[in-house]
Structure 1
Amino acid sequence: MSTERTFVMIKPDGVRRGLIGEIINRFERRGLKIVALKMVKMDRKTAELLYEEHKGKSFFEDLINYVTSGPVVCMVIEGEDAVQVVRRMIGNTDPKEAPPGTIRGDFALSKSENVIHASDSLEKAKREMSIFFDTSNF
């Protein structure tokens, strides 16, 4: 086991529905530490950078429009095997396949509006953190 940092973003539907505190509480109760946190209204350029791996896919425009539709909460979370732990906690992208007890299983309404984003590897975490935070500060 190793201490890692990962990137997590509460998406516009999670912010609109007042789930910020509940989601943060789940991470903290799990023993993870929030080392950076901010709320931003993402512009199109930043959204396209964050989701560049999906460029050209049929859902790309809808995804960009959705994540720029309202404020998001960006976090850097630290803990033992944080990438894997956080991914298990958030559940499957499709809430119908996310088990109860996961964030998406409990709160997501659809595959397109699924409350939360989390990096799926250490490499992506480093890249995604650097989009929103000056990582030289931590």
Structure 2
Amino acid sequence: MSSSSPDERTLVLIKPDAVRRGLVGEIISRFERKGLRLDAMVQRTLDESFADQHYAEHVDKPFYPPLKAFMTGGPLVALVLSGDQVIEVVRGMIGVTDGRRAAAGTIRGDLSLSNRENLVHASDSVDSAKREIGLWFPELL
């Protein structure tokens, strides 16, 4: 098992349901309390073509049209977080995709009761983090 660089980065999207519910501060504070660094942040509304770019690997899947409608349905907050093994750490903090099955203590386990409206997205690998950060924050590359 190799140790990753302390400078590892990941993209996190605080989804429209979390923004609508006023959970942005709660979610960011969990990451900050863990010791992760906030390198970039922007609030924006996702348009359909940008959603297709972000979710390129899912565009042809049956679950994608409702996901796209949800993700383009209101403002979201995009973050770049950094820290030691940040990708693994963040994915552990957010919990499994289905908030009904996510463990207590995770963001989804504590705050979500949905599979689709599950509050946050986080990069799942170093490669996807690089691609997603390049898409959302090209100035950081």
TM-score when normalising by structure 2: 0.94
AA at the equivalent of 1:44: E
Residue 71 (structure 1) aligns with: 75
Runs of 4+ in 1 over 6 A off after TM superposition: none
Residue 82 (structure 1) aligns with: 86
CA drift at 1:131: 1.2
Percent same amino acid at aligned positions? 50
The answer as to 2:6 corresponding to 1:19 is no
TM-score when normalising by structure 1: 0.96
SS of corresponding position for 1:56 = coil
Structure 1 residue runs without a partner (length 5+): none
For 2:100 and 2:16, the matched residues in 1 are separated by 20
For 1:136 and 1:41, the matched residues in 2 are separated by 20
SS of corresponding position for 1:80 = coil
Q: 1:23-50 CA deviation, whole Å, 9 max, x = no partner?
A: 0000000000000000010100011111
For 1:50 and 1:103, the matched residues in 2 are separated by 22
CA drift at 1:136: 3.7
- Structure 1 residues 1-138: aligned runs within 5 Å: 1=3, 2-3=5-6, 4-136=8-140
CA drift at 1:109: 2.3
AA at the equivalent of 2:37: K
Alignment size in residue pairs: 137
Structure 2 residue runs without a partner (length 5+): none
For 2:100 and 2:45, the matched residues in 1 are separated by 28
In 1, are the aligned partners of 2:16 and 2:70 still within 8 Å (CA)? Answer: yes
CA RMSD of aligned residues (A): 1.0
